[in-house]
Amino acid sequence: MKFIHKAFLSIAFILFIVYGNSQTAQRKAFMGLYGSAVEGGIRIDSLVTTATLHAFGLRKDDVLTKMNGKNIRTMQEYQSIATTIRTHDELSIEYLRKGKQKKVTGKALMKPYETSGIADIIYDWVPFRSGRLRTMTYRPKNKDHVPCILLIPGYNCGSIENFTTSYNGKLINEWIKAGYAVVTIEKSGVGDSYRCTPCVEADMQTDIESFDAGYNYMEQLSFVNKQQLFIWGHSMGGVIAPEIAKNHKPAGIIAFATVFRPWNEFLPEMHRVQSPLDGKTYIETEAFVREIEKVYHEFFVNKLSPQQIHAIPAYRAMAESDLEYKEGNTTMWGRHWKFWQQIDSLNLADSWSKVQCPVLSIFGGADYIACSELEHFLITETVNTAHPGNGTHITIPDIDHIMVRNKDWKSSHKNIANAEYRNANFHYGIAEETVKWMDEVR
């Protein structure tokens, strides 16, 4: 599978305001480590000087071996421990310095709040099931009664605090400049979220409920215009957007780089586009697609688990290579395997037909990930059949899945892992088109 699992480090934006419920949980701690796995632990390449590990006295080339008594041999083990540590938690660190074992204890330091010159950033909590989800709202500076956008991103488990130096941050900035507030909310178990199911274990229904909670929160903000609330759905967010809109009355929805058909239909087409970009011949690609379709039928249609599919001798190899099956592991393509089955089961024709507000459906001509313009045609036609005139479809020929300017699929495929290229080539046309459309709807 060629999905995007990109987390971009954040630094940016403005004023921190805390509302009443913010004392229910501490903010996540700031560890500030950049390193790589070596024999015996994690070798430190660099440390953020304002973060916990630097304050504890660790240095470049030290090898981190234990945190709170737990062995650390991989970056995954480090992350699984580090992400549970909150501000002021007692923390024990063991490490090697020039072969000598050392130990230090202390209290973890808080991750800094983001700041900006053009917006007030409001950190808040939203009650969710038995816990709370972190929200970050960007309010245009000194503005009241403003239109507002709920941002629903793609499927991965990155934090909203990674947005500000990614394509999401660039888009948010342009919306703020145009006078729009923006609400973002963590997925379950991500970032500062508290007592919530970890994102990689959460299903699609959990995501839908999370963003519904985000919309409810947006409706209650005192500085927004309640009649001018919008939903932005990018990639998987475009699947979730109509599910949220069914429960509310947004002024409009924008769906970008998303899908309409069931996943067992869309994925073979995606493979036919992506496999040749990865170096397969079209003959090899077709042979692969015809085999993987059988596996997809068992998974999506017959609802077998990856474990059950792995037990079928003819599908065992593909279960391991393409469904990422490992014994005892429920993760598949970065989420719980049930997440993908639930997406396939969604009837998006029914969902979009129940959306009563204007809808803008945007396809990117250089998008080799959500590669089918048919998806956006079907969204628009479904909306217009139910509510004539409400659906608008546009194509931006030279934009890819992550809002970077590229001339075609090959260019995007070549450049997608190049951070310098991505940062220098954000496609501001996506901001211009969305602002133009929302202004017209208003």
In angstroms, the CA 341 to CA 330 distance is 13
User: Domain check: are 102 and 130 in the same one?
Assistant: no
Helix, strand, coil shares of the chain as percentages rounded to 5?
A: 40, 25, 35
Both tokens of 107, joined, read 């209290």
Cα(248)–Cα(94) distance, rounded to whole angstroms? Answer: 51
Q: Residue 131 pairs with which residues in a beta bridge? A: 128
Only one residue has tokens 């979220």, namely 193
* Among 361, 362, 368, 352, CA closest to 412: 368
Quick one: 246 and 157 in the same domain? yes
**Domain assignment present for 132:** yes
Q: Are 121 and 140 in contact (CB under 8 A)?
A: no
- The pLDDT profile of the chain, 442 residues, written as one tens digit per residue, is 443 333 322 323 333 333 334 445 788 899 999 999 999 899 999 999 989 999 999 999 999 999 999 999 988 888 888 888 999 999 999 999 999 999 999 999 998 899 999 999 999 999 999 999 999 999 999 899 999 999 999 999 999 999 988 999 999 999 999 999 999 999 999 999 989 999 999 999 999 999 999 999 999 999 999 999 999 999 999 999 999 999 899 999 999 999 999 999 999 999 999 999 999 999 999 999 999 999 999 999 999 999 999 999 999 999 999 999 999 999 999 999 999 999 999 999 999 999 999 999 999 999 999 999 999 999 999 999 999 999 999 999 999 999 999 999 999 999 999 999 999 999 999 999 999 999 999 9
Do residues 151 and 172 lie in contact, with contact meaning Cβ atoms separated by under 8 Å? yes
Selection from 400, 427, 390, 434 nearest residue 242 by Cα: 390
For the chain, how many structural domains are there in total?
A: 2
Q: Are 146 and 224 in contact (CB under 8 A)?
A: yes
Judgement on whether residues 94 and 145 belong to the same structural domain of the protein: no
Triad 85, 91, 93: Cα angle to 5°: 115
Which residue among 57, 85, 107 closes a domain? 107
Q: Are residues 133 and 96 in the same domain?
A: no
The verdict on 255 and 222 lying in the same domain is yes
* pLDDT at position 357: 97
User: Do both 206 and 123 map to the same domain?
Assistant: yes
In a domain, 413, yes or no: yes
Whether 332 is in a domain gets the answer: no
Q: What pLDDT shows up at residue 66?
A: 94
Contacts with 218 (C-beta within 8 Å, 6 or more apart), sequence order: 137, 148, 150, 183, 224, 229
Domain boundary among 85, 107, 129: 107
CATH number assigned to the domain comprising residue 181: 3.40.50.1820
Residue 317 inside a domain? The answer is no
Out of 64, 85, 107, pick the residue that ends a domain: 107
Which range marks the domain in which residue 133 is found?
Answer: 115-261+345-441
Q: In this structure, what is the dihedral angle of CA atoms 392, 397, 402, 404, given to the nearest 10 degrees?
A: -130
Instruction: Tell me how far apart the alpha carbons of residues 12 and 217 are, in angstroms, rounded to a whole number.
Output: 23
Sequence length of the chain is 442
**How far apart (Å, rounded) are the C-alpha atoms in residues 431 and 380?**
20
Specify the pTM. 0.88
**DSSP reduced 3-state for 419:** helix
**Residue 102 shares a structural domain with residue 133:** no
Q: Beta strand pairing status for 146-152 and 70-71?
A: unpaired
Which residue's structure tokens are 């400049």? Answer: 177
Output the six-digit token pair for 356.
């009563």
- Domain at 44, CATH number: 2.30.42.10
Pair 72, 41: CB distance under 8 Å:
yes
Q: Report the SS3 class of residue 375.
A: helix
| Domain assignment of residue 9, yes or no | no
Cα–Cα dist 214/398, whole Å? 32
Degrees, nearest 5: CA angle 323-328-332: 25
239 contacts 343 by C-beta, under 8 angstroms: yes
If asked whether residues 220 and 82 sit together in one domain, one would say no
| Whole-number Å distance between alpha carbons of 310 and 154 | 28
**Residue 247: burial class (beta carbons within 10 Å; 0-12, 13-18, 19+):** exposed
